[in-house]
Amino acid sequence: MCATCGCGGATLATDHSQEGHAHGAQAAYRHHDHPHDHDHVHDHDHAHGEADRDAHLAHVHAPHLNQERILRIERDILSKNDAYARANRARLAQKGVFALNFVSSPGSGKTSLLARAIADLKDRHAIAVIEGDQQTSLDAERIRAAGARALQINTGKGCHLDAHMVGHAIDELALEENSLLFIENVGNLVCPAAFDLGEAHKVVVLSVTEGDDKPMKYPDMFAAADLMLINKVDLLPHVDFRVEACTAAAFSANPHLQALSLSALTGEGMFAFYAWIEARAALAAAESRR
């Protein structure tokens, strides 16, 4: 557990240590960057009237003992995550960093897709990657081999990245101005939908080997994303996957979703994806200057 903020489980592995834990002295001094919720709770604890209080006294009960009270709280459980996400978003905007949060089930080809994108884009953009997995630094190593800086977060039992872990990772990475940040979430088509990390957009990756009914079965992830990438289209002749049925289902969960088909293996369709990234990054930069 992190001694400074009490965060559990997740560990960060940096470029220098594969299984290291960044919650040491290095991370400690940054504790004051953390957003804190300033929601005040108002106590409406007058469930028992004067009569009750008198009765307690009459029965020689110590005052305030056995006194039932009701606290109205009305706080969203994700409000803490959302506060961290807002802080991350502000820090990224300040540096002009364009961040994408890649979500999918395990095995959709997220890491291969990122490795290919890094190899193709690294001469034009500084790129850093935050890799989320329950265990191992295998993905971060693949990303480094492709030519980008990478930091691995191991969530342990956790099924998703949260904004607090990503905030620590942003501290560690010391991002360059006007760079790209790719966040590869834990492979899971359910939970990461609910957690804002401070990214500009969620990008959902779906491979043709998974079946075209995934948007029907897991609509929340497709509703949370702004772009859907249908990956491994080089395998389309060999699988029963209808691209139109898949996109129709995804659009019915989210009419604002955009969709691209590509193959990280052959490179087919990758340039349309790069054009999307650069257009969206330019738009985000223009908006933040306004």
Partner 1 sequence: MHELSLMESLIELAEAEARAHHAERIRIVRVEVGALALIDSEALRFCFDAVAEETLARGAQFEIVETEAAGWCGRCGAETPMTTRFEPCRRCGGAPLTPTRGDALRLLELEIE
Q: Which stretches of the chain bind partner 1, using CB under 8 A?
A: 8, 41, 43, 45, 64, 66-78, 80, 157-160, 188, 190-191, 193-194, 216, 219-220, 223, 252-255
Least distance in angstroms from the C-beta of 160 to partner 1: 6
Nearest distance in Å: CB 162, partner 1: 8
Q: How many CB atoms lie within 10 A of CB 107?
A: 11
Q: How far is the CB of 178 from partner 1 (least distance, A)?
A: 33
Task: Determine the Cα–Cα distance for residues 203 and 192; give it in Å rounded to an integer.
Answer: 11
Beta strands 227-231 and 258-261, pairing class: parallel
Residue carrying structure tokens 């028992």? 48
- Give the nearer residue to partner 1 in terms of CB position, either 49 or 255: 255
**Residue closer to partner 1, measured from CB, 68 or 177:** 68
CB of 62 to partner 1, least distance (A): 12
CB of 188 to partner 1, least distance (A): 7
Neighbours of 191 (CB within 10 A): 17
Please tell me the distance from the alpha carbon of residue 199 to that of residue 225, in angstroms, as a whole number: 11
Task: Tell me whether residue 51 or residue 73 sits nearer to partner 1 (CB atom).
Answer: 73
Nearer to partner 1, 133 or 273 (CB): 133
Minimum CB separation of residue 125 from partner 1 in Å reads 33
Q: Rounded to an integer, what distance in angstroms lies between the CA atom of residue 36 and that of residue 193?
A: 23
Sort residue 100 into left (φ over 0), alpha (ψ -120 to 50) or beta. Answer: beta
Q: Output 78 or 236, the one with its CB closest to partner 1.
A: 78
Yes or no: say if 103 and 228 are a contact pair by the CB < 8 Å rule. Answer: no
Would you say 189 or 205 has its CB closer to partner 1? 189
Q: How far is the CB of 206 from partner 1 (least distance, A)?
A: 17
The rounded distance, in Å, linking the Cα atoms of 49 and 27 is 50
Residue number, 185 or 263, with CB nearest to partner 1? 185
On whether the CB atoms of residues 173 and 130 are closer than 8 A, the answer is yes
Cα distances (Å, whole numbers) of residue 69 to 39, 60, 73: 20, 19, 13
Tokens 């992830």 label which residue?
221
